[in-house]
Amino acid sequence: MSLLSAIVPCFNEEENIAYFYDAFVQNKPFFASKGIDYELIYVDDGSTDKTAENVLKLREKDPRVVLLQFSRNFGKEAAMYAGLQAARGDYVAIMDADLQDPPSLLPEMFGYLEEGYDQAATRRTTRKGEPPVRSWFARRFYHMINRYSKTEIVDGARDYRLMKRQVVDAILSVTEYNRFSKGIFSWVGFRTKWVEYENVERVHGKTKWNFWSLFLYAIDGIVAYTTEPLAIASFTGILFFVVAIIGIFVVIIRKLAFGDPTSGWPSLVCIILLVSGIQLLCIGIVGEYLSKTYLEVKNRPIYLLRQKVGQDEAPKEKEHKQENETGEQGGEADPLQAGKAYGKKN
């Protein structure tokens, strides 16, 4: 019997927990026919609603449900990483709780793994139901990052994917703090089959993204996967240096040859504004890279667990456990289970 681990990052998804479960278990007969059991790892990313309670309710019904609860909201990237660390499966799937990643695609995706692919990843062909401004900016972002980055970031790629163990281990070996998973998934390589589907709108609740958070996400991606902006900063610097040298010669010659009286203040002001604006922009670009480096160097854990429920009873050991053991542990957060091994205290 092999095992499939499904990872579901959840941030305030109380209404979707059970819906997702119902949709996911539709695949049970298919996986049973392939000799595959499953575990369903809900990662509660610091929700303030009843997400964790609802997961625990589900667990009463199905012990294959596992809850990882963060100490606060660490973001979806951290939630996916925590899920991957906890996953014990030979196959691992990452899926959104809002059913925008249809579980009904899993059999098809599994078929590709059987064919010999290492992972099956999904891509939306449409952005139906999304504000046009968001789509426009998203397109520009993908266009730009793919032009400069050596790592391909596929337009419309979702985080929804089904991977073999080898790919999961590769992703786990990338322990950076600023996680831009779309880049990491692509950076690790492996044979990937792209499965396309039309965008589905979320069943309940609202998206956690707004314009500002998407903008910051885009900056994260650019800073993580290309150093081109630094080159642009240097290039602009060189360009203005050359222009300035020529300008100085022109001014001196005009002064010596024609005794030109002082004039041209408006143009001078414009030039000062332009150049100082470009300088600030360049400092900002350098600052972005510096701040990311700063965060990496701090070496903080990617996430912290408040509790983990499930997975703790290894089947064989359980038989030897004392009789009063309930099997379920309101697990204590083990700092060693946090996103990174603690080297030092932060």
Residues lying near ligand UDP in the complex (CB under 6 A): 9-11, 13, 45, 73, 75-76, 79, 96-98, 100, 202, 207-209
Q: Which is nearer to ligand UDP, 76 or 182 (CB)?
A: 76
Question: Using CA atoms, how far apart are residues 212 and 195, in angstroms rounded to an integer?
Answer: 30
| Min dist. Cβ of residue 55 to ligand UDP (A) | 12
Q: Which of 165, 163, 147 is nearest to 155 (CA)?
A: 147
Q: Which is nearer to Mg ion, 105 or 305 (CB)?
A: 105
| Min dist. Cβ of residue 214 to ligand UDP (A) | 9
DSSP 314-342: -HHHHHHS-TT--S---PPPPGGGSSS--
Q: Which is nearer to ligand UDP, 127 or 191 (CB)?
A: 127
Binding site for Mg ion (CB under 5 A): 96, 98, 100, 202
| Min dist. Cβ of residue 215 to Mg ion (A) | 18
DSSP 90-118: SEEEE--TTSSS-GGGHHHHHHHHHHT-S
Q: Which does 103 bind (CB under 5 to 8 A by kind): ligand UDP, Mg ion, none?
A: none
Edge to edge, the sheet with strand 305-309 lists: 192-197, 119-124, 157-164, 91-94, 2-10, 36-44, 65-70, 305-309
Q: Which does 209 bind (CB under 5 to 8 A by kind): ligand UDP, Mg ion, none?
A: ligand UDP
DSSP 200-251: ---SSS--S--HHHHHHHHHHHHHHH--HHHHHHHHHHHHHHHHHHHHHHHH
| Min dist. Cβ of residue 202 to Mg ion (A) | 5
| Min dist. Cβ of residue 16 to ligand UDP (A) | 7
Q: Which is nearer to ligand UDP, 97 or 120 (CB)?
A: 97
Q: Which of 345, 311, 338 is nearest to 78 (CA)?
A: 338
Q: Which is nearer to ligand UDP, 48 or 173 (CB)?
A: 48
| Min dist. Cβ of residue 98 to Mg ion (A) | 4
Q: Cα 211 vs. chain centroid, distance in angstroms?
A: 17
Q: Which does 331 bind (CB under 5 to 8 A by kind): Mg ion, ligand UDP, none?
A: none
Q: Which is nearer to Mg ion, 45 or 98 (CB)?
A: 98
> Dmax over Cα atoms in the chain, in whole Å?
103
Q: Which does 127 bind (CB under 5 to 8 A by kind): ligand UDP, Mg ion, none?
A: none
